[in-house]
Amino acid sequence: MENRLIECVGIGTDIHRLQSGGPLRLGGVEIPFDQGLLGHSDGDVVLHAVTDAILGAVGLPDIGERFPDSDARYRGADSGALLSEVVADVGSRGWAVVNVDVVVHAERPKLSAHKGAIRGRVAALLGLPADRVSIKAKTNEGLDAVGRGEAIGCTCVVGLCRSPDRK
């Protein structure tokens, strides 16, 4: 991928409560765990944070406005499909994602064995080579809801450029 000048950045955060019973979906990847994330959609905090960061970068309404949890169409929704819709939308407006840097906040499960798969899936959803996607995982040192194992959160930043075909 040739280097492109980043013209705007966006930040996204999300947190979902853990409940007993899987599957746990993070970054579009199913991770073996005895708990999953509660949510109107599939509860994928990573894809929600990435989606919100992209929307924010280009000044579009946030993920909650775009895909309201009061709308039955999004019950159990595949967050990958929602992200793909947003990537296509910003693409039609002349924007392309350049890179994304993701931090997952989770006390459990250990994510080191899954970061590669998450990276590959997020890169595929964004149409990026894997080296433009970073997935980092941090515990919360036992503090707060994440540290008590009650929730998993995500923080991410994205960079976008003007699409080459729109220059």
Give the CB-nearest residue to Mg ion.
48
CB count within 10 Å of CB 69 equals 12
> Which position has the token pair 């990573």?
46
Which x/- pattern over 1-20 shows residues binding Mg ion (rule: CB under 5 A)? -------------x------
Which x/- pattern over 53-72 shows residues binding Mg ion (rule: CB under 5 A)? --------------------
- The angle subtended at Cα 44 by Cα 23 and Cα 95, nearest 5°, is 145
Q: Which residues of 20-56 are buried (b: 16+ CB within 10 A; e: fewer)?
A: eeeebbbbbbebebebbbebebbbbbbbbbbbbbbbb
Q: What are the structure tokens assigned to 65, written together?
A: 């406005």
Q: Quick check: 48 binds Mg ion (CB under 5 A)? A: yes
Q: How far is the CB of 55 from Mg ion (least distance, A)?
A: 13
CA distance 59 to 101: 19
Helix (H, G, I), strand (E, B) or coil at 15: strand
Q: How far is the CB of 39 from Mg ion (least distance, A)?
A: 6
Q: How far is the CB of 69 from Mg ion (least distance, A)?
A: 9
Judged by CB under 5 A, the stretch of 24-32, 45-53, 85-93, 146-154 that binds Mg ion is 45-53
Q: How far is the CB of 50 from Mg ion (least distance, A)?
A: 11
Q: How far is the CB of 82 from Mg ion (least distance, A)?
A: 10
Q: Quick check: 42 binds Mg ion (CB under 5 A)? A: no
Binding residues for Mg ion (CB under 5 A): 14, 48
